Amino acid sequence: MRKSNRAAIFKLLASAFVGLASVFSIAHAGKPEAIAAANGSACNAVQPFYWEIGRKWGGPIISGQVGGNTYGRNTQIGIASASKWIFGAYVLQRYGGLPAGPSGATIISSLNMKEGHTSFNPGSCALANKVYGCYVVGNNDVVDPSKVGFFNYGGGDGQYAAAKSNLLGLGNKDANALLTEINSFLNLGSDFSYNMPAVAGGMRASAADYAAFLQGIMKGTYVMSAYLGDSPVTTQCANCNSPFGTVDLHYSLYHWIEDNTGGVLPNGTPLSPGDGAYSSPGALGFYPWISAGKGRYGIIATDSSNFQNSYVCGKAVREAYFN
């Protein structure tokens, strides 16, 4: 081979290597900062926990266990209100978009928590065998007329839409049958299960399988991809009730939009302005999110903390990763 040809080939290979190195660098931008944040003061109250950040495909590009090895990527745990994002995605997948007509409008209103079921107690659903039973046990089916049309966070509106035969018609399904129904549209991973027939908070899952669900949204596999943040509703008003205190996030179709201008959590933690990410934090500490541009997802996985602590932690890790 001529020396000039060898030189040209080496130059071409070197150029390709530089290009690949550039892509790799961009893909992992913020990695040391994210690791530092996960091990920093913003996350101390969440320990022990597992965390990861990933793309639309493949495994996590960065992950870790903090405070011990209690939680890992494949540990199945209760995800509480992270179940809501699953159920919202199921509804959109089932209808191929937003459900239409008067019943469709009620279903949408339920997913936006505007139907006035403010007395719902998810714990009482452990006494119920089926979706309808979960809706009518105790005071779960009581409606406060003054709250109808306003955002009031809770599982009651979703359970109402699921239970009623003129709405989603899932009332006769027990926990196993409910999972089968959800899977007929979403085909979730095997670590997903319902420990009770509560559509808004009864699921268990692993970080690995929830990550696959998030990737399905990001890739457009699920209809939810086109409806992230669709027609957002305000969560701050005289007749509203939000678990985020004065933090002015918006809500849409069973997931949060982190577009707040500031605000203070009920535990007194002040928050910086949001970055537009989408999320569905659970009461026990499971916090999944998708970045505003749908290029990255992240998870804080624990069931021994609370949503405020894990939210603060996950937000800090995400901000460190991108900034």
Domain CATH code at residue 258: 3.40.710.10
For 169, the domain range is 31-322
CB 84 within 8 A of CB 255: yes
The answer to whether residue 20 sits within a structural domain is no
The total number of structural domains that make up the chain: 1
The token pair at 12 is 């071409």
The answer to whether residue 53 sits within a structural domain is yes
pLDDT of residue 319: 97
pLDDT tier for residue 52 given thresholds of 50, 70 and 90:
very high
Indicate the pairing of strand 255-258 with strand 277-279: antiparallel
Smallest CA-to-CA distance from 70 within 310, 301, 309, 299 is with 301
The Cβ of residue 287 has, within 10 Å, a number of other Cβ atoms equal to 30
pLDDT of residue 28: 44
Q: What percent of the chain has pLDDT over 90?
A: 90
pLDDT tier for residue 17 given thresholds of 50, 70 and 90:
very low
CB 275 within 8 A of CB 322: yes
Q: What is the pLDDT of residues 215-246, one digit of tens each?
A: 999 999 999 999 999 999 999 999 999 999 99
pLDDT of residue 31: 87
pLDDT of residue 30: 61
**What is the amino acid identity at position 181?**
E
Q: Is 124 helix (H, G, I), strand (E, B) or coil?
A: helix
Question: Mean pLDDT, the chain, as a whole number?
Answer: 93
Calculate mean pLDDT across residues 3-10: 44
The answer to whether residue 23 sits within a structural domain is no
Q: Is 224 helix (H, G, I), strand (E, B) or coil?
A: helix
Residue 13 has pLDDT above 80, yes or no: no
pLDDT tier for residue 97 given thresholds of 50, 70 and 90:
very high
Calculate mean pLDDT across residues 55-69: 97
The answer to whether residue 13 sits within a structural domain is no
Residue 93 has pLDDT above 50, yes or no: yes
Angle between helical axes of 83-95 and 156-163 (0-180°, round to 10): 40
Q: What is the pLDDT of residues 151-202, one digit of tens each?
A: 999 999 999 999 999 999 999 999 999 999 999 999 999 999 999 999 999 9
Residue 2 has pLDDT above 60, yes or no: no
Angle at 239 between CA 101 and CA 131, to 5 degrees: 50
Q: What is the pLDDT of residues 72-82, one digit of tens each?
A: 999 999 999 99
The answer to whether residue 25 sits within a structural domain is no
Angle between helical axes of 83-95 and 207-219 (0-180°, round to 10): 40
pTM for the whole thing? 0.91
Smallest CA-to-CA distance from 273 within 292, 293, 295, 252 is with 292
Q: Which helix (H) or strand (E) holds 288?
A: strand 287-290
Q: What percent of the chain has pLDDT over 70?
A: 91
pLDDT tier for residue 302 given thresholds of 50, 70 and 90:
very high
Residue 105 has pLDDT above 70, yes or no: yes
pLDDT of residue 14: 41
Interatomic CA distance for residues 154 and 294, integer angstroms: 26
Dihedral sign, CA of 317, 298, 305, 269?
positive
Name the one residue in this structure whose structure tokens are 């944040």.
37
The answer to whether residue 17 sits within a structural domain is no
Q: What is the pLDDT of residues 239-294, one digit of tens each?
A: 999 999 999 999 999 999 999 999 999 999 999 999 999 999 999 999 999 999 99
pLDDT of residue 291: 99
The answer to whether residue 60 sits within a structural domain is yes
Residue 19 has pLDDT above 70, yes or no: no
